[in-house]
Amino acid sequence: MSARNAFLLLLMLIVIFVAEGKDDTPQRFLLYDVNPGEGFNLRRDVYLRMAVLVSHLNALQPWTLVLPPWSSPYHWRSNHLDQERIPWFKFFDIQSLNKFVPVLELHDFPNKNKHWKIDEVIILQHFDFQENSLWEEKLEYVECNESEIYYWKEQDNKWRGRFWNYANISASSVRCMALQGLATTLIPFLIEQKAKAIMLDRAEVALHHAFGDVEYWAARRSMRFARNLVEAAHLFRKSHLNSSNESDNTVRPNDWKSEEQQVDLSLNRGGPYIGVHLRRKDFVTGRAKDVPSINSAAKQIEKLAKKFDVGKVFVASDGTDKELIELRKALSHLMVHQFQPTKEEVELYLDGGVAIIEQIICSHARAFIGTYESTFSFRIQEEREIMGFHPDTTFQRLCGDDDVACEQPSRWRIQFD
């Protein structure tokens, strides 16, 4: 071998060595899932808890958060559509999420011949309730609550389970852990594990690290919606509600990281309409005291329209056609608008996307009124906080028919650094 070739060989070996050396701290992956009964908007809240957890983990080791595909929560009613295993990009701006913590769609999670392997599944559960015990952060391995285990071991010694309705995912181990604490309470445990890919199931058991602080809001601000949904909402605002970011004074930078706290808290920002979220279905029976009749809702909406001096109302609702016809009748003095997608639009946006378009339109209104304890309404309030609306225009809710006291929503105000 010539001296030159020997030198090149040496150089190559050094390059390989250095590249290998970088792998000393291998990439680790956090996957998660939520109680199947939980709806879309609570799931978005659980995402924030996991994203903040991964952000803290990343200060110690390189971790990536794997985005759990969406599968038909029971509220998605377009049964003719396949609404299983929906990737996040259908609803959210992945690049924007990535600017808070590294995220990966499940289909991009490393696999072998289209088989995905998770090293460890940890099913979180609550500690048994003990009267008079002081609250302290704690976690320990426990026996699985029979009712909460969705996993089984097959003959190949691998665990199968729901896994977001994918058949080609398995886990090497499944254990249950009782947790009383914050998502970040799990950090020492997660760091200590040797497993490369860990999944937390029932992740909603873990609480927010610090609900409502600057970091929470940074994660929340990174949850920008998919561009086509934003555009559909903007088109609707323009053509039906005389509303645009320019005329409403709600222009925002493309990158949430360069967003600044809005200082114009005038009551006149937003489009010239009232945004209403009228949650019906299970809320009508489940929370009868706190949810108004259609007639009472109409009276409350009318009052608000008068107060803000607007003649238009945008109604987002999961109510029946009959309920909405009744509402329109009772609001005959006002122009009532709903987002009524064509068949093609539903196919394109899916039920989840349609709901998001309605949320965006509500969030841009001069004033918003939501439904008591609906996470769908909460997410609209947050969106309005991010845009810097006056809190008096945001934290309002429809009151039950006989609820004279009618407590208004807590004002979870945005925090910027």
Ligand X SMILES: Nc1nc2c(ncn2[C@@H]2O[C@H](COP(=O)(O)OP(=O)(O)O)[C@@H](O)[C@H]2O)c(=O)[nH]1
Q: Which residues bind Mg ion (CB under 5 A)?
A: 39
Based on CB atoms, which residue is closest to ligand X, 279 or 312? 279
Based on CB atoms, which residue is closest to Mg ion, 39 or 400? 39
Give the per-residue contact string, 227-266, with ligand X (x = CB under 6 A; - = no).
----------------------------------------
Give the per-residue contact string, 330-359, with ligand X (x = CB under 6 A; - = no).
---------------------x--xx--x-
Residue 277 interacting entry, from Mg ion, ligand X, none, C-beta within 5 to 8 Å by type: ligand X
Binding of residue 90 to ligand X (CB under 6 A): no
Contact indicator for 362, 275 with CB cutoff of 8 Å: yes
Binding of residue 92 to ligand X (CB under 6 A): no
The 3 state secondary structure assigned to the chain is CCHHHHHHHHHHHHHHHHHHHHCCCCCEEEEECCCCCCCHHHHHHHHHHHHHHHHHHCCCCCEEEEECCECCCCCCCCCCCCCCCECHHHCECHHHHHCCCCEEEHHHCCCECCEEEEEEEEEEECCCCCCCCCCCCEEEEECCCHHHCCCEECCCCCEECCHHHCCCEEEEEEEEEEEECEHHHHHHHHHHCCCCEEEEECHHHCECCCCCCHHHHHHHHCCCECHHHHHHHHHHHHHHHCCCHHHHCCCCCCCHHHCCCCCCCCCCCCEEEEEEEECCHHHHHHCCCCCCCHHHHHHHHHHHHHHCCCCEEEEEECCCHHHHHHHHHHCCCCEEECCCCCHHHHHHHHHHHHHHHHHHHHHCEEEEEECCCCHHHHHHHHHHHHHCCCHHHCCCECCCCCCCCCCCCCCCCCCCC
Contact indicator for 386, 96 with CB cutoff of 8 Å: no
Instruction: Choose, by CB under 6 A, the member of 35, 58, 71, 75 that binds ligand X.
Output: 75
Binding of residue 376 to ligand X (CB under 6 A): yes
Number of Cβ within 10 Å of residue 14's Cβ equals 10
Least distance to Mg ion, CB of residue 313, Å: 24
Contact indicator for 8, 44 with CB cutoff of 8 Å: no
Binding of residue 41 to ligand X (CB under 6 A): yes
Supply the residues annotated as catalytic.
38
Instruction: Choose, by CB under 6 A, the member of 96, 222, 317, 394 that binds ligand X.
Output: 317
Q: Which stretch binds ligand X (CB under 6 A): 38-46, 156-164, 243-251, 408-416?
A: 38-46
Instruction: Choose, by CB under 6 A, the member of 45, 204, 290, 318 that binds ligand X.
Output: 318
Q: How far is CA 322 from CA 45, 105, 299, 379, in A?
A: 32, 39, 18, 26
Binding of residue 39 to ligand X (CB under 6 A): yes
Based on CB atoms, which residue is closest to ligand X, 116 or 376? 376
Q: Which stretch binds ligand X (CB under 6 A): 39-47, 140-148, 161-169, 388-396?
A: 39-47
Least distance to ligand X, CB of residue 237, Å: 16
Instruction: Choose, by CB under 6 A, the member of 49, 56, 202, 277 that binds ligand X.
Output: 277
Residue 290 interacting entry, from ligand X, Mg ion, none, C-beta within 5 to 8 Å by type: none
Least distance to Mg ion, CB of residue 39, Å: 3
Residue 362 interacting entry, from ligand X, Mg ion, none, C-beta within 5 to 8 Å by type: none
Based on CB atoms, which residue is closest to ligand X, 75 or 85? 75
Instruction: Choose, by CB under 6 A, the member of 49, 208, 279, 364 that binds ligand X.
Output: 279
Binding of residue 42 to ligand X (CB under 6 A): yes
Based on CB atoms, which residue is closest to Mg ion, 39 or 212? 39
Binding of residue 374 to ligand X (CB under 6 A): yes
Binding of residue 316 to ligand X (CB under 6 A): yes
Q: List residues near ligand X by CB under 6 A.
A: 39-42, 75-76, 277, 279, 316-318, 351, 354-355, 358, 374-376
